[in-house]
């Protein structure tokens, strides 16, 4: 297995066009990974909503809950 420094050195030795291709490939991979993460979160929230376990309330309730302002959750 290559060390990170070896990988960096290999990348630096690539022609500019190959570097651009690599960076675009990595950017697309990051976008796709984020899409998968967002989908998983959305499915979890939708299931919680269907199960009746999703928290509900106003924006002020959410902020108070996140900050722990009231000692207990004001969200349902």
Per-residue confidence (pLDDT) for residue 47, from 0 to 100: 96
Domain segments of the chain: what residues?
Answer: 16-67
Q: What is the pTM of this model?
A: 0.64
Categorize the per-residue pLDDT at 44 as very low, low, confident or very high, splitting at 50, 70 and 90: very high
Mean pLDDT value across residues 21-47: 98
58: left (phi over 0), alpha (psi -120 to 50) or beta: beta
Q: What is the distance between the alpha carbons of residues 72 and 11, in angstroms, rounded to a whole number?
A: 52
Short-list 54, 44, 46, 49, CA closest to 76: 54
């Amino acid at each position: 297995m290559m060390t990170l420094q070896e990988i960096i050195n290999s990348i630096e030795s690539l022609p500019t066009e190959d570097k651009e291709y690599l960076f675009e490939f990595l950017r697309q991979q990051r976008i796709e990974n984020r899409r998968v993460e967002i989908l998983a979160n959305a499915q979890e929230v939708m299931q919680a909503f269907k199960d009746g376990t999703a928290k509900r309330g106003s924006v002020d309730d959410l902020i108070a809950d996140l900050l722990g302002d009231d000692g207990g959750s004001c969200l349902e």
